[in-house]
Amino acid sequence: MAIFRARDVRQLSDVELSEQVGKLQIELIQHYGKVSAGGATENPGRIRELRRTIARMKTEESARSRA
């Protein structure tokens, strides 16, 4: 799954935005599952990227709901 920057997030429609948030959250949960089971992810920095991308998307969702 690609990491979205702020300009990419703004270009997504509302439906696409919510779908992408769901997909990224599932991927994040899978990474956390590997770590909690005692394993290591292939790319530990990916967890940080996922958390930040989800935050960007949720920020955009809330900005759209206020506007």
Domain around 15: 6-66
Q: Determine, yes or no, domain membership for 33.
A: yes
Q: Determine, yes or no, domain membership for 25.
A: yes
Taking CA atoms, 18 is separated from 23, 60, 61, in Å, by 9, 10, 8
pLDDT for 51 = 96
Q: Determine, yes or no, domain membership for 28.
A: yes
pLDDT for 67 = 78
Query: Which pLDDT tens digit goes with each residue over 20-65?
Result: 999 999 999 999 999 999 888 788 899 999 999 999 999 999 999 9
CA 16/CA 21 separation, integer angstroms: 9
At 35, which CATH number?
1.10.287.310
Q: Determine, yes or no, domain membership for 1.
A: no
Query: Which pLDDT tens digit goes with each residue over 6-16?
Result: 999 999 999 99
The amino acid sitting at 48 is R
The closest of 56, 63, 45, 46 to 21, measured between CA atoms, is 56
Q: Determine, yes or no, domain membership for 55.
A: yes
Q: Structurally, how many domains does the chain consist of?
A: 1
